[in-house]
Chain A
Amino acid sequence: MSETTVAEVFDEAPLVERARSGDTAAFSELVNRYERKIFRLAKHITQNDEDAEDVLQETFLKAYSHLESFQGHSKFYTWIVRIAVNEALMKLRKRKSSRTVSLDEPTDTGEDTMVREIAVWEENPEQKYSRDELREILDKAVESLKPAFRTVFVLRDIEELSTEETATALDISIPAVKSRLLRARLQLREKLTKFFRRKGDDVFAYL
Chain B
Amino acid sequence: MLTCKDFLTELNDYLDESVDRELKVKLEQHVTECPNCFVVFDTTKKTIKIYKGIEPQVIPEDIHSRLMAALHKKMAAGKGYS
Contact = CB atoms under 8 A, between A and B. Distances in A.
B51 to A, nearest CB: 5
Interface stretch (A10-18, A28-36, A75-83): A28-36
Contacts of A60: 67, 71
A115 interface: yes
A103 interface: no
Chain A: number of interface residues, binned into ranges: 35 or more
Contacts of B51: 138, 157-158, 188
A20 B67 CA distance: 19
A107 interface: no
B63 A53 contact: yes
A3 interface: yes
Contact of B56 (A24, A31, A39, A120): A39
Contacts of A120: 39, 42-43
Contacts of A61: 70-71, 74, 82
B54 interface: yes
B66 interface: yes
A39 B63 contact: yes
Interface of A: 1, 3, 24, 27-28, 31, 35-37, 39-40, 53, 56-57, 60-62, 64-65, 67, 113, 115, 118-121, 125-126, 134-135, 138, 157-158, 160, 178, 181-182, 185-186, 188-189, 192-193, 196, 204, 206-207
